[in-house]
Amino acid sequence: MKAEQVLQQYFQNMADPEKALEYVHPAATFIAASETESDRHHFYGTYNGIDGVRTLLAKFQRDLEPQEFEMHKMLADETTVFAWGMFRHRVRPTGKSFESYWAVV
């Protein structure tokens, strides 16, 4: 499977975190907004490996209701993919909308 197909499958399976995790490399590093944890939001921080990403996805499922997800562009070769876009979610505990840009390599 090409790198871009792996990423597309990951995104397509986000509603089922265990299925999405099948497309995460064991040495993956996910950084949510900031490399370090913060009192501003419990998502912030670095998540390493499949277990780390599982923790992040569990936080997403518990606290966020997806409203919109757009991929603006994807660039790939045989082993690497870079994509970026934007998302908008409703934060369940507050009911407020949260919108941001995202990028993945």
How do the domains of the chain map onto residue ranges? 3-104
Please give the pLDDT value at position 46.
96
Query: Whole-model pTM?
Result: 0.87
Q: Is 105 exposed, middle or buried (0-12, 13-18, 19+ CB in 10 A)?
A: exposed
What whole-number percentage of the chain has pLDDT above 70? 100
So what's the pLDDT on residue 95?
Answer: 95
Which positions of the chain have pLDDT values less than 50?
Answer: none
Place of tokens 């399976």: 13
d(CA 27, CA 44): 19
Please report the pLDDT score of residue 66 as a whole number.
Answer: 93
Supply the pLDDT for residue 75.
97
3-104 in CATH: which number? 3.10.450.50
CA atoms within 13 A of residue 84's CA, in its CB half-sphere: 3
